Amino acid sequence: MFLVRAILLPAMLLHAQTKTLRIAAAADLQPVLPSLIHNFEKSSGAKVEVSYASSATLATQILNGAPYDIFLAANLAFPQKIVAANLAEESAPIIYAHGSLVLWAHHGLFHHGLTMQSLTSPTVHRIAVANPVHAPYGAAAMAAIQSLGLKSALQPKLVFAENIAQAAQFGQSGNADCALISKTLAITKTMHQAGRFVAVPVGAYPPILQGGVVLRNAADKQTALDFLHYLQSPAGRNLLATGGLVPPAQ
Amino acid sequence: MDTVALLLTLRLALVTTVILLLIAVPLACWLAFTGSRAKVFVQAVCALPIVLPPTVLGFYLLVALGPRTAFGRALTHLLGHPLAFSFAGLVVGSVIYSLPFAVQPLVTGFAAVDRSMLDAATTLGSGRWDRIRRVVLPLSRGSLLTASVLSFAHTVGEFGVVLMIGGNLPGATRTLSIALYDQVQDFQYAQANRTALFLLAICLVALMLLYSLRPESRPRSSDLV
């Protein structure tokens, strides 16, 4: 009996906690959201739980009934699917940030002049990108490779990660020499210690517009809307910018 | 149906099964006949992949055997490429992941061999390996079949390790289970349905084959775990 209670009690406590906000967030937000959530929890009194995955993984989960309150994607297409399925509060996703794609390379590979063209060098064996089907940053990386005319040269070197955080991990662990990842991940301490990065030329890939929606079935709609407003507030915009995203023009 | 992924999956399962039998037969012989105190430890280590999350294995393969450790660098040098993102890497992962499914049926089978037969063979001057080759193995054909089929089917069903170390390369690391994952993520439910049904069929047929060829011995729970 004691054991049963010990196992069930945490679940019962969670139920009793009325204001728990569940966020489904794209993997590029993994280094950015914690500070935003910390501040939001302090000011609102709500408790926030986040699940990180590729935007497509989260969209599939939501379309199949996953109980999230907010969906923060790394593009507009996936939240638009949620809107189209009549599962969103909004009639269109809210753009909360613009993302930047960067080229990250292991320390010691290129001492100067790291560019996208460097990737054709024979010293680069493996380049990690996120799966373009699941992950908007992966799609942007493939678009950049294509538009810079590097596709045939780089194709044999590409390895595909399930999401952008895994692409960064492939690079950080040394299994890949370079990675095309989000700026949010490249500026983290871990990635900074293992390598360096340069921005991929902005014109080389379509803009990464990161959209979010509050879900129609949200348990606490008001808190969810409050969080989305907080992301757009001056304090929220500041933290997004510190994390490597560009808040949209007001 | 992604035929490249299908062929790769079958190739991976076949290579893994062959390597596993080569490793598992001597290992199971030792476990079945030893009186060593180390037996419990070795048994536990062999059974670990049943209970361990595949992510633990994926983590070690990626990080401990990756280019950041001395051992990983030596391995990379030996192979000419890191273990990750290669067919060889998947084979290493699969061999570890499916090890208990080969070892445990063999231990059960070997231990069930009538000891008086072994004693008779010894009396007739048969040496240790000779007894294994000419008495133990022929009397354990059923267990060898069980070990092969379970290793094969379990490798077909591998997902977590492949997702962590594979890199989704067509023809090298994109197995059917990964292809199915991609199809679901891409909202291609019709294609996903075909792949899922196919995987279901392979595994069902494998297990039916196993039970139909071994009618004499009712499936023992110890064969499956």
Q: What's the whole-number mean pLDDT along residues B1-21? A: 94
Residue A206 pLDDT: 97
In chain B, the percentage of residues whose pLDDT exceeds 90 is: 60
CB contact under 8 A, B67 and A126: no
CB contact under 8 A, A133 and B182: yes
Residue B13 pLDDT: 97
Q: How far is B85 from chain A (nearest CA, A)?
A: 7
Per-residue pLDDT reduced to its tens digit, B38-72: 999 999 999 999 999 999 999 998 888 888 889 88
Give domain status of residue A138, yes or no.
yes
Residue A236 pLDDT: 96
Class of CATH domain B3-224: mainly alpha
Give domain status of residue A140, yes or no.
yes
A196 and A238 in a single domain? The answer is: no
Chain B residues with CB under 8 Å of A56 CB are 185-186
A170 and A144 in a single domain? The answer is: yes
Q: What's the whole-number mean pLDDT along residues B101-116? A: 93
Give domain status of residue A126, yes or no.
yes
> A48 near A41, Cβ under 8 Å?
yes
Which CA distances in Å does A68 have to A52, A64, A223, B198?
Answer: 12, 11, 12, 32
Q: For residues B1 and B195, what is the distance between their CA atoms, to the nearest angstrom?
A: 6
A135 and A193 in a single domain? The answer is: yes
Determine which of B185, B187, B188 to mutate to test the interface with A (most A C-beta atoms within 10 Å). B185
Residues whose CB is less than 8 angstroms from the CB of residue B2 and which lie 6 or more positions away in sequence, other chains included:
B174, B176, B179, B195
Q: Between residues B175 and B214, which one has the greater pLDDT?
A: B175
CB contact under 8 A, B63 and A159: no
- CB-closest option in B66, B168, B184 to A173: B66
In chain B, the percentage of residues whose pLDDT exceeds 70 is: 95
Q: How many CB atoms lie within 10 A of CB B74?
A: 11
Residue A109 pLDDT: 86
CB contact under 8 A, A175 and B85: yes
CB contact under 8 A, B67 and A170: no
- What ipTM does this complex have? 0.77
Q: For residues A213 and A8, what is the distance between their CA atoms, to the nearest angstrom?
A: 32
CB contact under 8 A, B186 and A56: yes
Q: How far is B223 from chain A (nearest CA, A)?
A: 32
DSSP B35: -
Structure tokens of B141?
Answer: 């054909």
Has residue B154 got a pLDDT over 70? Answer: yes
Q: How confident is the model at residue B192 (pLDDT cuts 50, 70, 90)?
A: very high
The boundaries of the domain holding residue A166 are 100-204
Q: For residues B168 and A161, what is the distance between their CA atoms, to the nearest angstrom?
A: 7
A39 and A117 in a single domain? The answer is: no
A32 and A110 in a single domain? The answer is: no
Q: How many domains does chain A have?
A: 2
Give domain status of residue A250, yes or no.
no
Domain CATH code at residue A141:
3.40.190.10
A43 and A125 in a single domain? The answer is: no
A93 and A214 in a single domain? The answer is: yes
Residue B64 pLDDT: 84
Residue B225 pLDDT: 46
Averaged pLDDT in 10-residue chunks for chain A of 250 residues: 60 58 94 96 93 92 91 96 95 96 92 89 95 94 97 96 94 94 96 94 96 94 95 96 93
CB contact under 8 A, B68 and A173: yes
Residue B224 pLDDT: 52
Structure tokens of A4?
Answer: 């049963």
Give domain status of residue A113, yes or no.
yes
Residue in A closest to B82 by C-alpha: A175
Residue in B closest to A131 by C-alpha: B168
pTM, two decimal places: 0.84
Give domain status of residue A17, yes or no.
yes
Q: How far is B204 from chain A (nearest CA, A)?
A: 27
Q: For residues B222 and B112, what is the distance between their CA atoms, to the nearest angstrom?
A: 12
Give domain status of residue A247, yes or no.
no
Query: Where exactly are the structural domains of chain B?
Result: 3-224
Q: How far is A133 from chain B (nearest CA, A)?
A: 6
Chain B residues with CB under 8 Å of A129 CB are none
